[in-house]
Structure 1
Amino acid sequence: MVKALLPAAAILLSVLYSVSAFAMTSLTASVDKNPALQGEAITLEVVADSRLSADAINFRVLEQDFTIMVPSVSSSTQVINGQSSHSTSWKVVLLPKRTGELTIPTFSVQGFNSAPINLKVLNEQVKTATDAGAELFLRSEIQQDQLYVQQLSYYQVTIFFNGDLQRGSLSEPQIEGASVTQVGQDVEGSELVNGIRYRTITRRYAIIPQRSGNFTISAPTFNGEMVDRDSARYNYFARTKSVVQQGQPVDISVKAIPDNFPGDWLVAGLVTLTEEWSPDITELKQGEPVTRIITLSAVDVAENQLPELTQGFPEGLRLYQEQPQAKSAQRNGRLVAQKVFTTAVIANKAGTLELPEVVLPWWNSQTNQLDYARLAARQLTVTASSSAAPVNPVVASNLPNNTAPANSEILSNTASSNWQWNHLSSLLLLLWLGSGIVFYLLWPHRTSRQPVTAPASRVKFNHNKLKAACQNNDAAAAKAELLRFAHQQLDQRCHALTELMALLPDTSLQQQLQQLNAALYSPHASQWQGDALWQSWQQYQRQATPGTTDNSLSGLYPHSGAD
C-alpha cells in the first residue's frame, strides 16, 4: 500500500514544483532612449518572468500623451542546470504628442507592479536628427496657416530616407473640426539635405476647416522596415529593422465667414462661369427646344462646396432643368471642381426675351477680397412657328361637285326668259335639295367604312420596339415609337415630343422625354443613353395601369404589331 502511494506523491511534488517555478516574481518596464527628441520614436519594453497571455497588459492608458503603435509580444523558455525559466516581453513604439516632462505610468499584472518612468521630450526639431545623418525622417508643412472657414489649404508630408526602405505605411494627419482628403498620388524624388542625398516620397492632402478657431494638425506617422546596415556589412542575407517616425505638428488659425458676404459662401483661388447652347442659336423658334448648359468651375475647391446658381429665366419659357452634375479633378497638384447646370428651354410665344446677367459672388483667397463671376445678359428673338393650321377635310367635302356648273347654267338662262327662270330654277332647286339629302344620308356610311381599310397601312405602336430603341440608345427610333403611342393610345396626332410632354403628367417620364428631345437637336445625339427613359416608361405604365408588373407589360397592347 505504501509502495503504491510513493509514485503518486512524486507526481504531486513535481507538479507543485513546476507551478512554483512558473510563478511570476517580477514585472519591469524600460525605454530605449531618455531624453528623446520631438517627433522621435521611443520603444517601451515591459517584461514579466512568467508565461502570460498577450492581452495581459493594456497600453491604452498611454493614449493621452503618446501615439501608440501595435505592440509585439514574444515568449521564451530557458533551461539551465535542469531548471526552467519563462518570460513574456511586450514591445510597443510610442510617439510623444507634446514636449516636456511625460510619465509612463505603472503597469500591474497578477499583483506585481512595474516602476513608473519619467520621460523628457526635448523641443528640438528634426533638423537635429538630420545633422547626425538620420536614415529616415519626416517633414510636414502647410501652404497657408491663416484660413477662413471652408477654405481649402494643401498640407504636405515628405518622407526622407537614404537607406534601403523595404515597406512602410503612412497614417493620415489629424485635425479637429476639419475634413482631410488625399490629393493625387504619391510623388517620388530626391533632395540634398546637409550634404546627404535623400530619396523622398511626398504626399499631399486637402484640409478644409469647418469652424473658426485655433487648431493643431497632428502630423502623420510613418511605420516601416529598412535594411539594417550593420548586418548587411557582414551577412549576405541582411536583416531588417523597424523604423517609426512622425512629422512636426502644424498650427493654423481659422477665421469666421465675413458677416457682410452676399449669397452662399464660396472661397477659392479662381472661379469662372461659361455658357453653351445646344444647338448653337442666334434666335429661338416657338415650340422648339434648345439646351442651355452653364459650367461653374473653381480652383482650390471640393466639388461638394460648389453652390447653386440663380439663372432668373423670364416669363414666356417652359423650362426642364436636370439635376446639376458635380465632379472634381487634380491639375498640377491643385483641386479643380466643376458643376454643370443643364436646362432645356422652350419658348411659348414669339417676341424678344431678355436673359438676365448671372452673377456669383465668391471670396478670392489669393487677393483676400470679395470677387464676382459673371455671365453677360443675353437678348433672344423668338420667331413664330412656320407650321400652318390644316384645312378641315370634312368641311371641304360637304360641297357637291356639280354645284358650280348648275349655278352657271342658271346664270346663263337668266337673260332668256323670266318664266323659264322661275320654273326651271324651282325644279333645279328641288333636284339640288334631293341630291343633298341623298349625299347627307350616304356620307356617314362612307366615312364609317373608311377606318376598316385604313389600318392595313397604319403603323402601330409596339412597346417591344421602344424597349429595343432604348437598349440600343437609338434616339430617333425611340421618338418615332413614342409618337405612335400618342396617336394610338392617347388619340392625339403629335408631331413633336413637346406635344406629347404636354399630354403627360409631371413625372420622371416627362423629364426623360425632354432629355431625348434635347439629344435629338444636339450634335452629339449618338451619346444619348436610353436606359433611364425605359425605366421611366415602365414606371409610367405601372401608374397608368395599377397592379401590372414589368413582366405583364406586353399585355397592355394586345393589338400592337410590327411595322
Structure 2
Amino acid sequence: MVKLCFRLLLVGLALLWQAQAATQLKASVDKNPAMYGEAIVLQLVLDEKVDAGVLDFAVLENDFRVSGPSVSQSMQIINGQSSQSTAWQLSLFPRRTGSLTIPAFTVGNISSAPINIEVQPASQSSGKGAELFLENSFSHEAVHVQQMLYYEIKIYFKGELQRGNLSQPELAGAEVEQVGKDVENSEIVNGERYQTITRRYSVVPQKSGNLTLNAPFFNGEMIDRDNSRYDYFARTKAVSAEGEPLTLTVNAIPDGQQHHWLPSELVALTEEWSPSSQQLVQGEPVTRTITLTALDLADHQLPDLTLGTVNGAKIYPEQPQSHKAERKGRIVAQKVFSYAIIADKSGTLTMPEVQVHWWNTKTNQPDVAVLPAVILQVSPNPQQSDNSVSAAPEQRVSTVAAEPVSDWYFSYSSWLLLVLWLGTVAMWLLQQWYQRPPTVELPVADSAVRFNPRKLKQACQQNDGVQAREQLLRWAQQLIDPQITTLSDILPHLPDGALKSQIQQLSYQGYQAAGKTWQGHGLLEAWAHFQHQPAQTPAGLAPLYPGR
C-alpha cells in the first residue's frame, strides 16, 4: 500500500513537471504577407487557464486598427491527463504598407515570439473589380466659423454584407452630428453595379484655421462566395476599406459683423395673425406668430426677436419654441415667437418692421431678413365704457346716480349667496369626512426607472457606456423634457462646456471602431464640476442632483 501511494506521488510530480515545462504562449497569423485593406487574424494560445484580461493589446494600435479580442477557454482529459488552454483572437487592419511588427506578448515569465508582417499595397483600392471601397467628401472645402457644412461617407460593396462597423468621424474644434438615417441604394461604377450605404453628418466648426478629419474606416463581414456553394450555413470573410483624410479651411468671422452671427444660405421671416382679420377691436387680444426659418443652422443658433414697446398697444410675449428637422439630407431650423397684442385705444396701430441680420453664404455678403411694418385699424369696443363719454349729460348724470344703488344691491345679494353656498359646501365636506373609509398608507416602491445618480457614477467608473446613456436619458426625460429620446436631444438644453462635450462624445460611441472602449472618467469629472457650478445651469434646467 505504501509503495502504491509512493508511485502515485511520483506520477503526479512527473505530470506536474511536464505541465510546467510545456507551458507556452504561441502567436500566429492567418496570412503573411498581407494586402493593405484586408484583415489579418492574430491568434494567441496559452496552455493554461488564466484571466482573459491578462494581455494588453494597446501596443498594436500604432500599426493596426484592432477589432476584438474574442477569448475562449477549454479543458481536455486524455488518458487520465488533463490540459487547459486560453485563446485570444483579434482582427488586425494595417494602417500602412511596408514592414510591420506584431510585438511579443508576456504572461508571467512566458512570452510569445514577435511576428514580422509584410503589408503590400492593394492592387485596386476602388473602382472596377474592387469588392468594397469608400468615398468620403465635404460639401464645402472652406467655410466660416459656426457655418454648417456636411460630411458624407458612401460605402460601395458587391455581394452580401452581413455586418459592419464604420468609424465615427472626429474633428477637433467642431461639432459633428449624424443627419437622418443611413440611405441604401445602388450605383453603376465602371460598368459594374454596386450596393451603396450613405451616411451623412453635419459639421459646425467652432474655431478658425485648417482642421483635419481622419480617414474613415469600415470593417465587416461578407458572405464568402468562393466557399458558400449555396450552403445555408455559408461562411463569411472579413472585409475592410478606408477612405481619405480631408482638410477643412475655416475662416474667421468677417470684421464689422456687430449683429448676431448667422451664416446660412437662406433666412426668412413669416407671420400669422389669429384672428386673421386686419381689423382689431379695442381691448380684445389677438395673437401674432412670427416664425424665423434658417437653412443649415442648428436651432440653438437662432437669435431671439424683440418687438419692443408699441404706442397704443400692450404686447405680451410667450416663451419661444425652437426645433430642427432634416429635409433631403439638410438641416432646417425654426424658432417660433408668439405675442398676445391688446390695443388699448381705437384708431390706427402701427407694428414696426422686424429685422434679422445674417450672413449669406452664397453671396459671401451680409444680408437682412425683413418682416414689413403692419398698419392695423382698431375699432372701438361697444362693451367698454368709452361710449358713455359721448352720451347726453342727463343720461350720464342718471347713470352715475343709479350706480351706487345697483352696486350695493348686487354686493349684498352676492355676499348672501356666497355665505349660503360656503355653508352647503362645508356641510358636504363634513359628511364626506365622516363617511370615508380608513386609508392605508402603502409603501412607496423604489422605481427602477427613475434617474439614479449613483448608477450614473458607477457606470462612469466602470466605463459602461450603455448604462451611462440610460441614466442620462432618464435624468433628461424626468427633469428637462419627457419628449427627449436621444443624447443629442439633451445638448440644446446645456451650456457650452465639458459636460456638453462629454455627452456628445458618448452619443458618438455607437459608431466607434470595434474594440474601442468608452472611458467614463471624463464624463464623471464634467458631471461633478457641473454640479458645483449652478450659475452655469440654463434657466429651467433642473440640477443633476435634485435637492442638493
Shorter-chain TM range is 0.5 to 0.7
2:110 maps to what in 1? Answer: 112
Q: Which amino acid aligns with 2:23?
A: A
Indicate which of 413, 422, 428 corresponds to 1:451: 413
How many aligned residue pairs are there? 414
Is the Cα–Cα contact under 8 Å of residues 73 and 91 in structure 1 kept in the other structure? yes
Residue 365 of structure 2 is aligned to residue 369 of structure 1: yes
Indicate which of 51, 76, 83 corresponds to 1:53: 51
Measure, in 2, the Cα distance between the counterparts of 1:297 and 1:223: 40
Q: CA deviation at 1:357?
A: 1.9
Indicate which of 207, 214, 221 corresponds to 1:218: 214
Measure, in 1, the Cα distance between the counterparts of 2:155 and 2:414: 86
Structure 1 pair 77/447, CA: closer, same or farther in 2 (3 Å)?
closer
Indicate which of 343, 349, 354 corresponds to 1:347: 343
Residue-by-residue CA offset, 1:109-153 (whole Å, 9 max, x unaligned):
22334455566777x7x8923357232222222211212221111
Q: Which amino acid aligns with 2:357?
A: P
Is the Cα–Cα contact under 8 Å of residues 313 and 356 in structure 1 kept in the other structure? no
Indicate which of 251, 254, 260 corresponds to 1:258: 254
Q: CA deviation at 1:168?
A: 2.9
2:138 maps to what in 1? Answer: 142
2:176 maps to what in 1? Answer: 180
Q: Which amino acid aligns with 1:137?
A: F
2:27 maps to what in 1? Answer: 28
Structure 1 pair 459/106, CA: closer, same or farther in 2 (3 Å)?
same
Structure 1 pair 3/298, CA: closer, same or farther in 2 (3 Å)?
same
Structure 1 pair 103/342, CA: closer, same or farther in 2 (3 Å)?
farther
Is the Cα–Cα contact under 8 Å of residues 162 and 198 in structure 1 kept in the other structure? yes
Is the Cα–Cα contact under 8 Å of residues 221 and 247 in structure 1 kept in the other structure? yes
Structure 1 pair 52/3, CA: closer, same or farther in 2 (3 Å)?
same
Q: CA deviation at 1:307?
A: 1.6
Structure 1 pair 254/380, CA: closer, same or farther in 2 (3 Å)?
same
2:60 maps to what in 1? Answer: 62
Residue 152 of structure 2 is aligned to residue 156 of structure 1: yes
Is the Cα–Cα contact under 8 Å of residues 22 and 85 in structure 1 kept in the other structure? no
3-state SS of 1:366 partner: coil
1:476 maps to what in 2? Answer: none
Is the Cα–Cα contact under 8 Å of residues 29 and 40 in structure 2 kept in the other structure? no
Structure 1 pair 116/304, CA: closer, same or farther in 2 (3 Å)?
farther
3-state SS of 1:130 partner: coil
Residue 292 of structure 2 is aligned to residue 296 of structure 1: yes
Deviates more, 1:340-349 or 1:112-121: 112-121
Which segments of 5 or more consecutive residues in structure 1 lack a partner in the other structure?
A: 400-442, 464-563
Residue-by-residue CA offset, 1:38-69 (whole Å, 9 max, x unaligned):
x5544444444554432221112334554332
1:232 maps to what in 2? Answer: 228
Structure 1 pair 383/164, CA: closer, same or farther in 2 (3 Å)?
same
1:90 maps to what in 2? Answer: 88
Is the Cα–Cα contact under 8 Å of residues 146 and 254 in structure 1 kept in the other structure? yes
Residue 334 of structure 2 is aligned to residue 331 of structure 1: no
1:468 maps to what in 2? Answer: none
Q: Which amino acid aligns with 1:326?
A: S
Q: CA deviation at 1:155?
A: 1.2
Q: CA deviation at 1:192?
A: 2.0
Indicate which of 355, 358, 363 corresponds to 1:359: 355
Q: CA deviation at 1:175?
A: 1.6
Measure, in 1, the Cα distance between the counterparts of 2:207 and 2:80: 68
2:126 maps to what in 1? Answer: 130
Deviates more, 1:144-153 or 1:189-198: 189-198
Is the Cα–Cα contact under 8 Å of residues 169 and 222 in structure 1 kept in the other structure? yes
Is the Cα–Cα contact under 8 Å of residues 145 and 204 in structure 2 kept in the other structure? yes
3-state SS of 1:173 partner: coil
Structure 1 pair 3/309, CA: closer, same or farther in 2 (3 Å)?
same
1:166 maps to what in 2? Answer: 162
Q: CA deviation at 1:209?
A: 1.6
Q: Which amino acid aligns with 2:3?
A: K
Q: CA deviation at 1:261?
A: 1.3
Measure, in 2, the Cα distance between the counterparts of 1:100 and 1:285: 83
Q: CA deviation at 1:295?
A: 0.6
Is the Cα–Cα contact under 8 Å of residues 128 and 191 in structure 2 kept in the other structure? no
3-state SS of 2:229 partner: helix
2:439 maps to what in 1? Answer: none
Measure, in 1, the Cα distance between the counterparts of 2:175 and 2:28: 38
Q: Which amino acid aligns with 2:12?
A: L
Structure 1 pair 144/47, CA: closer, same or farther in 2 (3 Å)?
farther
3-state SS of 1:189 partner: strand
Residue 3 of structure 2 is aligned to residue 3 of structure 1: yes
3-state SS of 2:143 partner: strand
Q: CA deviation at 1:338?
A: 1.1
Measure, in 2, the Cα distance between the counterparts of 1:100 and 1:305: 47
**Structure 2 counterparts to residues 271-420 of structure 1, below 5 A:** 271-389=267-385, 396=401
Structure 1 pair 42/3, CA: closer, same or farther in 2 (3 Å)?
closer
Is the Cα–Cα contact under 8 Å of residues 353 and 370 in structure 2 kept in the other structure? yes
3-state SS of 1:184 partner: coil
Measure, in 2, the Cα distance between the counterparts of 1:397 and 1:85: 112
Is the Cα–Cα contact under 8 Å of residues 32 and 44 in structure 1 kept in the other structure? no
Measure, in 1, the Cα distance between the counterparts of 2:70 and 2:218: 17
Q: Which amino acid aligns with 1:3?
A: K
Q: CA deviation at 1:273?
A: 0.6
Deviates more, 1:226-235 or 1:205-214: 226-235
Residue-by-residue CA offset, 1:146-196 (whole Å, 9 max, x unaligned):
122211111111121111222334342222222222222222221222332
Measure, in 1, the Cα distance between the counterparts of 2:7 and 2:382: 119
Q: CA deviation at 1:262?
A: 3.0
Residue-by-residue CA offset, 1:414-462 (whole Å, 9 max, x unaligned):
xxxxxxxxxxxxxxxxxxxxxxxxxxxxx99x95997289849x999x9
3-state SS of 1:451 partner: helix
Q: Percent identity?
A: 48
Once superposed, what is the RMSD of the aligned Cα atoms?
4.0
Structure 1 pair 155/449, CA: closer, same or farther in 2 (3 Å)?
closer
Which segments of 5 or more consecutive residues in structure 2 lack a partner in the other structure?
A: 389-395, 426-548
Deviates more, 1:204-213 or 1:446-455: 446-455
Q: Which amino acid aligns with 1:369?
A: Q
Q: CA deviation at 1:228?
A: 1.2
1:209 maps to what in 2? Answer: 205
Is the Cα–Cα contact under 8 Å of residues 105 and 116 in structure 1 kept in the other structure? yes
Structure 1 pair 100/207, CA: closer, same or farther in 2 (3 Å)?
farther
Residue-by-residue CA offset, 1:528-554 (whole Å, 9 max, x unaligned):
xxxxxxxxxxxxxxxxxxxxxxxxxxx
Q: Which amino acid aligns with 1:451?
A: S
Q: CA deviation at 1:5?
A: 3.6
Structure 1 pair 120/282, CA: closer, same or farther in 2 (3 Å)?
farther
2:446 maps to what in 1? Answer: none
3-state SS of 2:244 partner: coil
Question: Which TM-score applies when normalising by structure 1?
Answer: 0.63
**Structure 2 counterparts to residues 470-481 of structure 1, below 5 A:** none
Structure 1 pair 191/308, CA: closer, same or farther in 2 (3 Å)?
same
Is the Cα–Cα contact under 8 Å of residues 148 and 257 in structure 1 kept in the other structure? yes
Structure 1 pair 454/22, CA: closer, same or farther in 2 (3 Å)?
same
3-state SS of 1:293 partner: strand
Q: CA deviation at 1:394?
A: 8.4
Measure, in 1, the Cα distance between the counterparts of 2:309 and 2:62: 58
Q: CA deviation at 1:289?
A: 0.8
Measure, in 2, the Cα distance between the counterparts of 1:317 and 1:163: 69
Measure, in 2, the Cα distance between the counterparts of 1:315 and 1:118: 84
3-state SS of 1:128 partner: coil
